[in-house]
């Protein structure tokens, strides 16, 4: 990663502790988040609620573009769509992916 790039990864996995918990639930999923910070880049934040993931960064972040990639061993970064802002943050809201999904802000 070069100067001016910030990557945030979302990795979702399934962890089974036992067939049923004490409440009758089965196959309880575990969500894992990784954040790599780059000095000088806007801060990325990930929130998770139910089956929804939100990726946020400060508004305005002039000159910065959110990109995503499902495999960090490739250079297949593509622009993220559906970006909104609430006057404080830019954000996208997605359904929790079934595999890896990484985000970065690139200037």
3-state class (DSSP) for residue 27: coil
Domains identified in the chain, total number = 1
* pLDDT on residue 71: 87
Decide: residue 67, CB within 10 A, 0-12 exposed, 13-18 middle, 19+ buried.
middle
Residue 83, domain extent: 5-106
* pLDDT on residue 28: 47
Residue count of the chain, please give it: 107
* pLDDT on residue 41: 84
Task: Give pLDDT tens digits along the chain (107 positions).
Answer: 444 555 555 544 333 233 444 555 544 454 555 666 677 888 888 888 888 889 999 999 999 999 998 888 899 999 999 999 999 999 999 998 888 888 888 88
* pLDDT on residue 91: 97
Distance CA 4, CA 16 (A): 39
Q: Residue 9: CB partners within 8 Å, gap ≥ 6?
A: 33, 34, 35, 36, 72, 100, 101, 102, 103
* pLDDT on residue 40: 81
């Amino acid at each position: 990663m070069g100067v001016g790039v910030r990557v945030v990864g979302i990795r979702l996995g399934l962890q089974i502790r036992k067939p049923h918990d004490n409440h009758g639930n089965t196959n309880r999923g575990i969500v894992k988040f990784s954040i790599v910070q780059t000095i000088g880049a806007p801060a990325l934040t990930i929130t998770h609620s139910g089956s929804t993931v939100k990726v946020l960064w400060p508004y305005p972040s002039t000159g910065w573009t959110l990109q995503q990639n499902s495999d960090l061993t490739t250079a297949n970064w593509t622009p993220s769509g559906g970006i909104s802002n609430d006057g404080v943050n830019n954000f996208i809201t997605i359904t929790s992916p079934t595999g890896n999904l990484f985000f970065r802000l690139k200037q």
